[in-house]
Amino acid sequence: MKTLLGGNDAFFQGALRAGANYFAGYPISPTTEILTLAAERAEEQQDFHFLQAEDEIAAAIAVVSASLAGAKAFTATSGPGFSLMQEAISWGYRVEAPTVFFESQRVGPSTGAPTFPAQEDILQAMHGAHGTYYPLAFYPNSPAECYTLAVTAFNAAEEAMQPVIFLCDGYVSHLYEPVDLEALEIPPAVPRSRPPLGTGKRHFTGIAADEEGIPRTGNPQVQEAWVRKVKKRNEEVAKRYPLYEYKERDSDTLLISYGSTSRVVAPLQERFSHFRPIRIFPVLKEELRKACEGYEHIVVLEANDGQYAMLVEHAIGREVEKIPLLGGKISLSRIKEPLKEVLGVELEDVL
């Protein structure tokens, strides 16, 4: 049966479907609905645990710690909270903790313009924390996809044994559509990859250490071997999820957009080809190269000043046109003029 479901609600339901049983967080719009749902769930179900921490730093540390203790753990935040979480995320990469960080973007920097949508934390999702690590990030554009992709994110976290960033934005978080959860095709949940507390030898440290958890800071080979191991694992897992949408039209123009921007430009997709990355990291290099072949114009539309466009340019080895949608309003009327300028065509009929 179809019910009206919002992006945040759908992500939370998907997390439960994936087997998540621990949430720690600190309220922040546009994700507070998830924290509220988690608190209600913990009240109803004894096997679901909830912590409202004193801030996002503590919440992120609790999430990584709960993962090490055997829970499927996650949090939900927005830009300012995501910044505070970066050190714990770095620790999560180091101790190989499968975790999911839901990040619904709003206009920044700093407090910015809550709770209006943005896509300004793309590069932060790639390398917001310090050190060498390999990100995995997904970005849905509908409540239904928030649900299915949540399961994918938790599965990928278990398989890659690392934090996975679930990117979102204010519009997708607060977009409500009828969804029949039972009718959606969902991958089976991957079981916990880490043995629970009380089994085997356990020593977790943020210091560069060998497989036994013994610090080996003076041994570059140990660190290098660790980097090679986690890189290989990340690449293998990423290959299982080459998620994107490509709509080909009889056009010399390819538009690239993702998240809520890809929904807003839907009327343009009848006229121009369109590529929507769903797996944001690792960047879909091969898929982008193939999709971009033969187009005179490649235009990246995003609610930031060219963050993903820069990655596309790097992937395909040529410059692209950029249309930034800044300030918290993602609309076709704001795209019309700059797109007209880039392509030299009238767009009245699509508005």
Partner 1 sequence: MKKIVISGEGGQGIRFIAHALAVALIQLGYHVSLLYDYDSAIRTQKSLAYLTYDEKPIGSPMVEVADIMLMLSKKEDKVCARKIVCESGLCTDEQVPFSELGAEKFGGAIFGNTIALGHLLKMIGVDIGKLDMEKTFPKKLFEENIKAVRFGYEFEHLESRE
C-beta separation of 231 from 274 below 8 A: no
Q: Output 205 or 331, the one with its CB closest to partner 1.
A: 331
Residue 50, helix vs strand vs coil = strand
Only one of the segments 13-21, 147-155, 173-181, 340-348 lies at the binding site for partner 1 (rule: CB under 8 A); that segment is 173-181
Per-residue burial over 152-175, b = 16 or more CB atoms within 10 Å of its CB, e = otherwise: bbbbbbbbbbbbbbbbbbbbbbbb
Q: Output 171 or 226, the one with its CB closest to partner 1.
A: 171
Q: Output 197 or 351, the one with its CB closest to partner 1.
A: 351
Residue 261: what residue type? T
Residue found by looking up tokens 């609905």 in the block: 33
Strands 273-277 and 244-247: antiparallel
Strands 49-52 and 22-25: parallel
Per-residue burial over 9-46, b = 16 or more CB atoms within 10 Å of its CB, e = otherwise: bbbbbbbbbbbbbbbbbbebebbbbbbebbeebbeeee
Tell me the per-residue interface mask from 108 to 137 with partner 1, x by CB under 8 A, - otherwise. Answer: -----xxxx---------------------
Only one of the segments 62-70, 123-131, 200-208, 326-334 lies at the binding site for partner 1 (rule: CB under 8 A); that segment is 326-334
Only one of the segments 79-87, 188-196, 265-273, 300-308 lies at the binding site for partner 1 (rule: CB under 8 A); that segment is 265-273
Q: Output 30 or 282, the one with its CB closest to partner 1.
A: 30
Residue 6 backbone dihedrals phi, psi, to 5 degrees:
-90, 165
Residue 28, helix vs strand vs coil = coil
- Residue 231 in the binding site for partner 1 (CB under 8 A): no
Minimum separation from the CB atom of position 165 to partner 1 (A): 22
Identified binder of partner 1 from the candidate list 58, 157, 160, 175, rule CB under 8 A: 175
Identified binder of partner 1 from the candidate list 40, 130, 131, 178, rule CB under 8 A: 178
- Residue 30 in the binding site for partner 1 (CB under 8 A): yes
- Residue 35 in the binding site for partner 1 (CB under 8 A): no
Q: Output 153 or 179, the one with its CB closest to partner 1.
A: 179
- Residue 4 in the binding site for partner 1 (CB under 8 A): yes
DSSP state of 196: P
Only one of the segments 91-99, 167-175, 183-191, 215-223 lies at the binding site for partner 1 (rule: CB under 8 A); that segment is 167-175
- Residue 171 in the binding site for partner 1 (CB under 8 A): yes
C-beta separation of 166 from 101 below 8 A: yes
How would you write 99-112 as a 3-class SS string?
EEEEEEEEECCCCC
- Residue 197 in the binding site for partner 1 (CB under 8 A): no
C-beta separation of 254 from 318 below 8 A: no
- Residue 330 in the binding site for partner 1 (CB under 8 A): yes
Contact residues: partner 1, CB under 8 A: 2-4, 29-30, 113-116, 170-171, 174-178, 263-267, 269, 330-333, 351
